[in-house]
Amino acid sequence: MIDKITEYLSSGGYFNPELMEHDKVRDLLMDIREQLAVYAKAIMDKDAEIERLRQALKLIETGAKRYYRHEESYQFAIIAQDALAMRDK
C-alpha cells in the first residue's frame, strides 16, 4: 500500500494530481479503503477481546469478594464457637 501511494506521488500526483490517470487514482483509493477496512476490523476485534477480558476480570473480582466474605464469615464463626466454648467452661 505504501509503495502504491509513493508511486502515485512520484508519478505526478504530488505536484499536479491532474496528470495522473483517473483509473489509477480510483484504484489506489479503493485499495486504501480495503486496507482501512481490514485495520478497522482488527481494531474492533481487539476491542471485543478487551471487553471480554474486562467481563472475565469482573467475574473473578466478584468471586474473590464472595470468597473473602465467606472466609471472614467462617473465621467469625470459629471465633464465636471458641467464645461460646470458653463461656461454657
Q: Where are the domains of the chain?
A: 2-88
Contacts with 12 (C-beta within 8 Å, 6 or more apart), sequence order: 19, 20
Give mean pLDDT, residues 50-70.
81
**pLDDT number for residue 22:** 77
Residue 23 identity (one-letter amino acid):
D
Least confident residue range of 11-20, 41-50, 56-65: 11-20
**3-state DSSP assignment of residue 28:** helix
CA gap 59, 33 in Å, rounded: 39
Q: What is the pLDDT of residues 15-33, one digit of tens each?
A: 666 666 778 778 888 889 8
State the average pLDDT over residues 50-56: 88
